[in-house]
Structure 1
Amino acid sequence: MEPQSSTTLVLCGKTTAENEVALRLKTNNTLKLPDDSPLDVALYSDIENRERIGDDDVFGINSYMSFLSTSRFGKLLIYSPKLASTHDVVSKNFDELPVGAVCVADVQSKGRGRSKNLWESPKGCLLFSFTLQMEDGRVVPLVQYVVSLAMTEAINDLCRENGIPPLDVRIKWPNDLYLDGLKVGGILCTSTYKSKKFNVSAGIGLNVSNEKPTTCLNTVLQRLGCVTHQLQRGDIMAAFFNKFESFYDMFINQGFQALDELYCKTWLHSGQRVTVQEKNENEDQISENVVTIQGPHYICCLTAKDALYVKEDSINVS
């Protein structure tokens, strides 16, 4: 029987505090994979050939850290060339990681989606998951909206700062990202309850340089005539955390209402006609009603004309 190959994890911190955490995680052999397969953990500061981590096919740690300006999120980085799932890494090690720690991979072999879907993500995707904690369980389902909005706004910021054509990335409710009518990304948020707090693992997959299976950000940029500038995954992830931290603070302190107007400008569905299916409790019959979407609701439903709430599992949004 052949021995299991080990998975490489590279740890890097934004400041001395995060690098001390990274050293402790490595020294104590703390990090684990869900299947307990072998791990090879290294500190970024100890890697001699660090310039290799920055090639087009490899996540650019240096550029990410230099662009990151948060006080909490994204400051402890776990990088791997290939993982089964970044989401599984942060979920498995949640108690050992500081809030805001992020795991990013160049390739995923078992990426996770809604309904427990699994898939392999190719090179060119931005694939990362991070941790956060919340006390109010009523608003935990809304975090996916904040994550989605932060990513669309981060892409807008990068385009504007680099003087390149804007990319009209939109939100397809509840957790997909679309560009030119095609899916380019998705959001997955899961949570567990422990010690009176909700431990939330938030994951994002975004097509940056891989034009298959649908399209990607850089392909659309080229089509818009921008041939001299390509968006880099490290820059996008740093811009995301810079934006997410401010949005998250607004969300926690003021409620989702503080972001609602911007969210509705970014999503695809205002005024859209959809079909809602309802099963009669006393009969095995399904009735259908056509309604017009007005907006998202704070209890993680949609509001619509001719219907009070449109739940995620009863809606057919095409």
Structure 2
Amino acid sequence: MSSADFPTALAAALTTRRFGRVHEHAASLESTNDRALAWLGGSGESPAPDGALVTADRQTAGRGRLGRAWSSAPAGDIYASVVVRPGATRTAAGQSFGALALAVGVGLREGVGAALRGCGRPELAERLSLKWPNDLLLDGRKLAGILCESRWRGRSVDVVVGFGVNVGRERFEGPLADTATSLRLALGAAPPARAELLAATLAALEDSLDAFFDRGFPALRPRYEPHCVVLGRRVEVETPGRGRVSALALSLDPDGALRVREDDGRELRVESADVWLSPDHAMPAPCGSPSD
């Protein structure tokens, strides 16, 4: 499908109320998040409405969590950013914004899973998992990831939810060859059309974020925790001044923070640090990819 045809195909597939109903698509952008943030603020144009979507066939200067480079190739992947304007009342309900990426993860997993079931591969949908705090995995390899950025207006916050999904890639370079996957690789055949996949993802994402901003992360815990690969397993956590420490991942706090117990018995609350499964439970390390 050509870049020019993609917006029309997506509009025909949408089932959302708001997400994606206003849509801007480009063959190439430096960053969909940067464009959505500029549109959110106006920048000489009408500000983006709630649910406005920016997509691109390729990003040339994307970034992941903690400023990591965001690898992008024109291979039929999804690069998308959604403007979310919850308003002051709903901002207060979902004020534990550390869990926002977890709420997005729920939407990604459920949306991609719906698309896989729709193309007759329900067993792959069941093998989707979530790596705290911002990765969607398929068979333990990184399939998609999340970057959320916010702007406060008085007591209200506006959010840009960025995500990338590896859809059409047939190979990865360098360290990504050992840590990432795509739907094409997992299916061994043509993946779902990008427009249909993104439409399913936007519908699930709209649902998960509505729940998050209405009732906070506790409303989504039953949809997140059963699919979180770190809980109950040994991990290594990056800590200020001490480097990586070994610990057991115990639970998630109501605000989405990860609670771990170090080998000396001390409990540690992890809010935004990198987490790896210990070497005997190998897991993709943080790296610059479309889904980081």
**In the alignment, is residue 296 of structure 1 matched against residue 269 of structure 2?**
no
Equivalent position of 2:176 in the other structure = none
Q: Which has the larger radius of gyration?
A: 1
CA distance in 2, matches of 1:131, 1:211: 30
**In the alignment, is residue 130 of structure 1 matched against residue 130 of structure 2?**
no
Equivalent position of 1:237 in the other structure = 198
Residue deviations 1:29-76, cap 9 Å, x none? xxxxxxxxxxxxxxxxxxxxxxxxx34x77632331122111121110
Equivalent position of 2:110 in the other structure = 153
CA contact (8 A) 1:58 1:106 kept: no
Equivalent position of 1:16 in the other structure = none
Match of 2:10 among 40, 43, 64: 64
Question: Aligned AA for 1:162?
Answer: C
Query: For this pair of structures, how many residues does the alignment match?
Result: 254
Paired residues for 1:261-272 under 5 Å = 261-272=222-233
Equivalent position of 1:87 in the other structure = 33
Equivalent position of 2:186 in the other structure = 220
Equivalent position of 1:187 in the other structure = 146
Equivalent position of 2:269 in the other structure = 309
CA distance in 1, matches of 2:234, 2:208: 29
TM-score by length of 1: 0.72
Q: 1:132/1:291 Cα in 2 relative to 1: closer, same or farther (>3 Å)?
A: same
Equivalent position of 2:159 in the other structure = 200
| Structure 2 spans left out of the alignment, 5+ residues | 42-46, 173-179, 278-282, 284-292
Report the alpha carbon displacement of residue 276 of structure 1 after superposing the two structures with TM. 4.3
| Structure 1 spans left out of the alignment, 5+ residues | 1-53, 280-284
**In the alignment, is residue 256 of structure 1 matched against residue 217 of structure 2?**
yes
After alignment, is 238-247 or 98-107 more displaced? 238-247
Higher strand share: 1
Q: 1:72/1:278 Cα in 2 relative to 1: closer, same or farther (>3 Å)?
A: closer
CA contact (8 A) 2:102 2:256 kept: no
Report the alpha carbon displacement of residue 177 of structure 1 after superposing the two structures with TM. 1.9
Aligned to 2:49, the other structure's residue is in SS state coil
CA distance in 2, matches of 1:278, 1:103: 35
CA contact (8 A) 1:59 1:106 kept: no
After alignment, is 169-178 or 245-254 more displaced? 245-254
TM-score by length of 2: 0.78
Question: Aligned AA for 1:164?
Answer: R
Report the alpha carbon displacement of residue 257 of structure 1 after superposing the two structures with TM. 1.5
CA contact (8 A) 1:183 1:215 kept: yes
CA contact (8 A) 2:23 2:52 kept: yes
CA distance in 2, matches of 1:107, 1:58: 14
Paired residues for 1:36-55 under 5 Å = 54-55=1-2
Question: Aligned AA for 1:209?
Answer: G
Paired residues for 1:75-114 under 5 Å = 75-95=21-41, 96-114=47-65
Residue deviations 1:182-216, cap 9 Å, x none? 22221000112123211111100110011332321
Aligned to 1:111, the other structure's residue is in SS state coil
CA distance in 2, matches of 1:141, 1:127: 22
Identity %: 28
Question: Aligned AA for 2:255?
Answer: I
Structure scoring higher RCO (CA < 8 A, sep ≥ 6) equals: 2
Question: Aligned AA for 2:221?
Answer: D
> Root-mean-square deviation (CA), in Å?
2.4
